Amino acid sequence: MKLLTFAEALAQTAEVKRHLLLGNGFSIACRPGIFVYKKLFEQADFGQLSPTAKRAFEALATQDFEQVIKALRATRTLAGVYGGTYDATLAQFLADADGLRELLVQTIAASHPAWPGEIADEEFLACRAFLAHFANIYTLNYDLLLYWTVMHVPEGEKPTSDDGFRTPEDDPEAGYVVWEPGNSKGQNLWFLHGALHLFDTGLEVQKYTWCNTGERLIEQIRRALGQDYFPIFVSEGTSREKMMRIRHNDYLGKAYRSFSEIGGALFIYGHSLAANDEHFLKRIEKGKITQLYVGIYGDPQADANKAIIRRAQQMADNRPRLNLKVFFYDAASAKVWGK
């Protein structure tokens, strides 16, 4: 199979609106030694905690840190109400909850650059040039690379992408910005599975920024977790579990609906079309996209790439009414980070 170059794919779509869907390959292309990860749960070193901490995930049939931490604390509180007297066990609930909270911080920090200065200006410039080809940008990643890139503009200029977050009207001096559904009319940048800098306080969705606080990622997350705020990120294992999480969060639900409504041409970069993201692949099949361009990295005859090609072609086969044309392009030719 002969792949299109990225330039050829752009030329074919010069007359239609283009959209972009990013997978983990976007981050791996920038820093292969850091971002080769699947889920935080798989990276976490549970050896430093009690054996019961990890077994709590198994008992609740989840890989979601937030769910387990909240369950441990709730159980400890309810045990007191119902006359629980096993002091050592009750204390272990709290110890495991606190230990898991710190483990989450450590795991995030270990798999992420500490600040934007670790990425060269030339890399940011190349990435912004790549992103400029697209009307809407959607990412399945929850790291900060995309956010850092769109914010890394020359002094005096404003970002060309809008993530929908604004300064809170009742607290203009706050060290964060907030998202409201009403702010999303012009929004063209979406974190489909959340992100490490987005927090759900129960009352609002907050985005923490380095420029507003002067604090690095690790300290912001530690401080937020200390207030029982958790990053919004969908780290569950299956597509069904991810979809359940999406439907219970206003921001994630709005992002899902936005993706479902796009038409024209969709470019996919850095994603394997794996089954655990089937909830978004189905939206491509059932949606309004007429041209799909899937990035292939390396030899198209490699087993992993053959699987990607089969799934992409299946999308066209599953579109009985509105014709979906599928093309494949050389992901390396996009030179997303100038490499």
Q: In the listed set 85, 110, 135, which residue is the last one of a domain according to the structure? A: 110
pLDDT digits (tens, 9 = 90+) for 96-132: 988 888 887 777 767 777 778 889 999 999 999 999 9
295 vs 4: CA distance, rounded Å: 9
| Mean pLDDT, rounded, for 5-19 | 97
Q: What is the value of pTM for the model shown?
A: 0.85
**pLDDT reading at 334 higher than 70:** yes
**pLDDT reading at 235 higher than 70:** no
Q: In the listed set 110, 141, 159, which residue is the last one of a domain according to the structure? A: 110
Question: Are both 148 and 90 inside the same structural domain?
Answer: no
Question: Do the Cβ atoms of 267 and 21 come closer than 8 Å?
Answer: yes
What pLDDT was estimated at residue 2? 87
| Mean pLDDT, rounded, for 276-288 | 93
Region of poorest pLDDT, from 9-23, 179-193, 298-312: 179-193
Question: Do the Cβ atoms of 219 and 168 come closer than 8 Å?
Answer: no
Question: Are both 174 and 316 inside the same structural domain?
Answer: yes
What pLDDT was estimated at residue 177? 86
pLDDT digits (tens, 9 = 90+) for 150-193: 988 887 788 889 999 988 877 776 778 899 888 778 899 999 99
How many independent structural domains does the chain possess?
2
CATH number, domain containing residue 269: 3.40.50
**pLDDT reading at 339 higher than 80:** no
Q: Is position 339 within any domain?
A: no
pLDDT digits (tens, 9 = 90+) for 56-65: 999 998 887 8
What pLDDT was estimated at residue 196? 82
65 vs 285: CA distance, rounded Å: 32
pLDDT digits (tens, 9 = 90+) for 19-48: 999 998 998 899 886 665 456 788 888 998
Please name every residue paired with 296 in a beta bridge, in sequence order, or none if there are none: 330
Q: Is position 1 within any domain?
A: no
Question: Are both 185 and 140 inside the same structural domain?
Answer: yes
204 vs 174: CA distance, rounded Å: 13
Mean pLDDT of the chain: 87
Question: Are both 199 and 154 inside the same structural domain?
Answer: yes
Structure tokens at 12: 């074919």
Contact partners, residue 193, CB within 8 Å, separation at least 6: 140, 141, 142, 233, 234, 235, 242, 252
| Mean pLDDT, rounded, for 195-205 | 86
Q: Quick one: 288 exposed, middle or buried, by C-beta within 10 A (0-12, 13-18, 19+)?
A: middle
Buried b (16+ CB within 10 A) or exposed e, 22-34: bbbbbbbbbbeeb
Question: Do the Cβ atoms of 337 and 127 come closer than 8 Å?
Answer: yes
Q: Which domain holds residue 50?
A: 40-110
Q: What is the DSSP letter of 87?
A: H
Question: Are both 147 and 165 inside the same structural domain?
Answer: yes
Q: Is position 240 within any domain?
A: yes
Region of poorest pLDDT, from 95-99, 288-292, 293-297, 298-302: 95-99
Question: Are both 100 and 149 inside the same structural domain?
Answer: no
| Mean pLDDT, rounded, for 74-84 | 79
Kindly state the percentage of the chain with pLDDT values over 90: 47
245 vs 88: CA distance, rounded Å: 33
